[in-house]
Structure 1
């Protein structure tokens, strides 16, 4: 089988967003390097229109982003190559590691075993780290949690391990649903997390969360915010991320009629907003 290999110059902080776009274009292998993303697609699934579409996507990211090289390669074990780039790490009270890592869990750290199908929700992106660092001060024993855009399920799993009773996780991507189900089994929390494919319409009408988590992106968050508020109890907590610092004012403007801002945390140019529902 023949593949096209693209090496794309793009800053680390924008790679996950680009991977999401390329995934929709049937790319099925990725390797993240420093300021470069190596991506693979079957030759028969790639044409000049796809190449032009990627150029248009890259033009929308800050800085200089471009396809550095394009070449034809034989089929390889993309997952094996990519797995070598995923390392265990401490994030706040958590220790996030893939099952193939032999790293020991540091004392007093909560283990999150995450085997990602794609490089989302591994804990490497700032937005994931920001939420994981906020969770221990927000999750209360017995909480009901909604996890919007669950990715690998890492945030739902973390909330349950902090004492939440149940989590409802959803995502529009089929691969995400499969991966989340695998990861909740790995972590022994499959009885406490419900996973559904779809957007906010799959949230049960009767569900009122104590905590809602949304690590998505600005436009989707703004579109779904009324549903998020409806699905969260008065006095409940909402943590929003997937946001750049330039998004802060717009999101807070939409939040403040319905919620009090508790804190805004930042890592590099990414932010997470913690708010408490007042309406």
Structure 2
């Protein structure tokens, strides 16, 4: 079997967010296969056969003067690439109750042990927004509740909700990588009863839920909050994240316009996660 040769890019990013998330999305569109976040920014990998010298020329994020992004690249063999990925992907423990780990990590003695193979999808618990959403889920009664995980990424939030006893659960993401990756992770964690769909909020027509989880971004949330409000049962809960503290007023104003009452917020490195009640 021939050895696959990869090109590794090392990006130094200042400030890291939201530039890192934007960069990952653009690199994914350009053909990069996998990503590892580190202290200085991001490692990104693409097969040499898919690489071209001007592959970064059309990236919009590198032209944004709000961020400073520098990079270098080198060739590596697949074996070294896998070792680097495993070395940098560490398990995440949330409130000593939940661990999110890769398949090559040893199991830990916790209440909820979640195995995630992220591939090109978002949501491992390493990012502040995913971490806080996991905290919200841990603190909430999901027993028998109907649940929507909107913008599901790896499916990790839907998986924890189901582990906590959720009833009918849907997971939706517009990205095909996320759709396929969520299905794999749901099966890997024996949560096969979660229904996964590829699409956007247009799929929610006629749907009703007790709890909606949406970890996306400010603009999409502002656009979709009216849809979420219409889909929530009386007394239902809405958990939102994917935005900064300075965006809270705009998000809360939109929620209040649709009778969704602010109840609780979590903060981590200027990112925020908020709970509203219908």
Shorter-chain TM-score category?
A: 0.7 to 0.9
Closer/same/farther in 2, CA of residues 70 and 110 from structure 1, 3 Å limit: closer
Query: Is the contact made by 2:99 and 2:113 (CA closer than 8 Å) also made in structure 1?
Result: yes
Residues 141-187 of structure 1: CA deviation (Å, up to 9, x unaligned): 11000111101100001111112112100111111111111111121
1:24 has 2:22 as partner: no
Query: Is the contact made by 2:10 and 2:42 (CA closer than 8 Å) also made in structure 1?
Result: yes
Offset at residue 94 of structure 1 (A): 1.2
Q: How many positions carry a matched residue from both structures?
A: 269
Q: What are the equivalent positions in structure 2 for 1:66-145 lying under 5 Å apart?
A: 66-71=69-74, 73=75, 75-77=77-79, 78-92=81-95, 93-106=97-110, 109-118=111-120, 120-145=122-147
1:226 has 2:226 as partner: yes
Q: What residue ranges of structure 2 are gaps of 5+ in the alignment?
A: none
Residue 214 of structure 1 corresponds to 214
Offset at residue 110 of structure 1 (A): 1.4
SS class of match (1:251): helix
Query: Is the contact made by 2:12 and 2:42 (CA closer than 8 Å) also made in structure 1?
Result: yes
- Compute the TM-score of the two structures, normalised by the length of structure 2: 0.88
Offset at residue 135 of structure 1 (A): 1.2
SS class of match (1:207): coil
- Compute the TM-score of the two structures, normalised by the length of structure 1: 0.88
Closer/same/farther in 2, CA of residues 190 and 18 from structure 1, 3 Å limit: same
Distance across 2 between alignment mates of 1:139 and 1:80:
39
Q: What residue ranges of structure 1 are gaps of 5+ in the alignment?
A: none
